Each structure stands twice: as C-alpha cells, then as structure tokens.
Structure 1
C-alpha cells in the first residue's frame, strides 16, 4: 500500500512487544485527510479538500499531496497555481488531469474570507447587525486561528464552520460541474471496457 512506509516491512506486527500503540496525527506528514482516499484500489472520482492552513501555507497541504502522489506513482492532477492565486486566493479551485481519468478531480477550498464578509448565505447580504459574524480574522497576530492557539471560543468555532459552509455552498456550481465530469468519465470508462471485452 504505502511503499515509503516502514509499516510495509512488517505488516500485522506493528509493535508486538508493546502494550500500547501510539498514533500520530497525519498532519505531521501531509496536513490533509486525503491520503487514505487516493490509493488506486479506492478509485475515487472527486475529493473535496478543505484547507485550514493560514496565509502563506494555505496551499502547502495540497501541493504536498501532489508531490507525494507523484513520488508514489499514484494518479493525481497537477497542482498549478499562479502568484495571483497565492496572493489573492479564490474560495475554490478545481484541479483536474484531463488526460488521465484515473486521477481524481480535486475541489480545493483554501481558508479565505472573500464574500462571506458581505453575505451570510449565497445571495443573501448581511445586515448591519450581522456584519460582525462575517469578520473572520486570519491575518493579525491576535488571530484566534493561529497555530499556537489550541482552543476556540464557541463564537470563533462557529465563525470558522460557517465560513467553510458558506464557501462550499457558494461554489455549488463548481462542485456539480466536477461531479458531472466524474459521471461522464465513469460512463466513458465503462463503454471503453465493454468495447475491449467484445
């Protein structure tokens, strides 16, 4: 499965002499939950990648994932970003390898607060009483979302969840487009297999 892992050297005997098994958050390796999904046997069509990294590191996890897949010969789309993308990120990016239908389509949602400031739901503007709920501070030194902050107040947590929810809802059409592409790929793949078997 994971050729670069020491676990492959002795499967089913991780720590036979130890009473306890200690696990490490996958974020230390690649700060994303995608690795279990990308094994070739899983045959995943679409991945929604929610990136909770801040500022200059906001694309690191998806780029690391791409590099890992390249090293492991796992189909994965190229993560091509411009300097503009890095400086002024959008709410959602689609990464797709049109030449390789085995590579999943990635919908990547970096942690950005673009239109959420002004809209509480897609198409529904915030009222003056509601404005504070749209202010999510990712940039200041006092930001509650910095790496050194390990706990959130209920309000801070809700802002983060509501922002992520909004960004997904606001990019509904891109998600539907990716799903449609995945369905078309599956149909084409089945058709090709049928032709080859006859």
Structure 2
C-alpha cells in the first residue's frame, strides 16, 4: 500500500500544504513466486521448492531489518537452521550470530545463502536473484552525484557544495512515511495530517517517527495508542503538539467506521502491497472507502486546522 502525509505550515497568514507519498516494503514478494514440492519443475519455470521459498522469504525480512538498523541475528539463525535441515545436518552455516556480527555480515551472508541453495536447486530464477544481490552488494544505496558541487554562489550553504556525492534515504526504507523530510527546522511545521495507507499496523509509521525524532532530538508529539487499536483502528486520531512539536492528525485508511468493526482485516487483505492490478470495481470501492475518511471527519479536520491557525 502507499501512504500519504499532508503537511500544513502556517506562516505570515499563509497555509502551505505538501503531499508526500512513500512506498511500503514487504516480504510478501516471495508469496508471489509459485512454490512447488517437485524440484524438477524448477529448471525452466518461475517455480521454486517450498523449502527455498521459505528461506528466501526470511532472507528478505533479514535484509529489511538490517537496512532499518535493527538486529537481524534471529532471522540469520533461523535461516541457518533451515539450511541445516536442508543439508541433512551437514550445513557449514551452523554457527550462531550475535547482533553485531549479523549487522556487519548481512551481504556476505546473503550471498552465501544463495550459494548453498544453488547446491540443491537448479533454477534460473534463483540465479537471477543471486546476481541481483551481488549487484546490490556493490551499490551504495541512495548515493547520487551532487549537482551543487563546487558551485560558487554565496546563497548556497557551504555544506551543500563541499562533497561530490550526496547520500539520500528513501522514506519507504526509513519508516514508510515522509515525516523526517517535513520536520526540518526551516519548515516550521504546525500540523501534519497523516493519511496512512500502510499495510499492517496502521500506527507503525507515526510511532516509528516519534521514536526516531526522540533519538535525533527533533521535536515531535507524544504518540500513545491503545494496543487493541492496531487491529481495529478508529477513523480519526489527534496527537497534540507541544512547544515546537507539531500536532499530528492520523487517519488509518481501513478502520472500524468506514469498513465495519469486523471487516478491517478483510479490506487490508484485499488491497495488499503486492496486489498487482485492480479491477474497476476494486478502484471504485477503494476510492469510496478512502473518501469516507475525509467526509466523515470534515468538521473535525476543519476544527483542528482552525485551532492551529488561530481562527
């Protein structure tokens, strides 16, 4: 699913609105590779044995954890166990990882897993995935040429012209929402309207943003959500700002109001991240549900905006 955040900035009696659309990542990718118990089917098709699919799915989850700076050691050890079972107890990858080792060795570990799988399974798909990983291992994520390098203009801050390359972080990899980019001090943000379309926990983005901002000493509102609301969210939440921290209005796409209390999970499953195509009927249904989040909360939205701009 895609997520969107609307930034409202109040300055000199003007309102500035910016829409940010980040991408959600999920290990569901390998659910769309057809698995089979017959290894012979793997040679000339997009099929992989179930054992390989399970290992590859865990491998994706492990890499995503590492990208987000989290501990991937448990998943590494899980992969080792699966490979050991596959090798009949003779796998050379039986040594357990701790958090430090796991974070440092993600790339070589990933490539080694493909080597081990290649011993058992012959599939062009497996070869393609291996080569993609080898290519990614040499690619520095987000590093781009700095077009401002050595620009002679006093209006351009010095730190923007010093380096030939600059590193960028995709919002989808960081926390699946563009909070950090809109919270730069120069933007003087007063209110963020978060239309959350993420798959899974509808509060993960805003809670992660709060945690990240705390670690980076960026003013952000306190986020306190009842645990049961993660599976049955309401359609409107306000996290009040304080001092320099902006207020956040958070609206989960699928909620108990527009879907019904017992239909939220059904709607989430229907519009999963890797749903590759939507019928006209599905598009109409989705637009109707999303539209209700605004029409049902029009008065609340106006009230909060007026509170911010002081009218």
- TM-score w.r.t. the length of structure 1 is 0.64
* Matched pairs, number: 153
Structure 2 Cα separation of the partners of residues 176 and 72 of structure 1: 31
For residues 161-176 of structure 1, what are the structure 2 equivalents within 5 Å?
A: 161-176=287-302
SS in 2 for 1:139: helix
SS in 2 for 1:101: coil
Segments of 4+ in structure 1 off by > 6 A? none
Which structure 2 residue ranges, 5 or more long, are not aligned? Answer: 1-141, 145-158
- 1:102 and 2:263 are equivalent in the alignment: no
CA contact (8 A) 2:232 2:255 kept: no
Which structure 1 residue ranges, 5 or more long, are not aligned? Answer: 119-136, 188-198
CA contact (8 A) 1:47 1:106 kept: yes
Q: Give the aligned partner of residue 210 of structure 2.
A: 66
CA contact (8 A) 2:235 2:251 kept: yes
SS in 1 for 2:245: coil
RMSD across aligned positions (CA) = 3.2
SS in 1 for 2:270: coil
SS in 2 for 1:143: helix
SS in 2 for 1:109: strand
Q: Give the aligned partner of residue 92 of structure 1.
A: 236
Q: Give the aligned partner of residue 281 of structure 2.
A: 155
Q: Radius of gyration: which is bigger?
A: 2
Flag the 1:14–1:72 CA change in 2: closer, same or farther, 3 A: farther
Give the Å deviation of 1:113: 4.0
Structure 1 Cα separation of the partners of residues 268 and 253 of structure 2: 17
Give the Å deviation of 1:76: 0.9
Structure 1 Cα separation of the partners of residues 299 and 232 of structure 2: 21
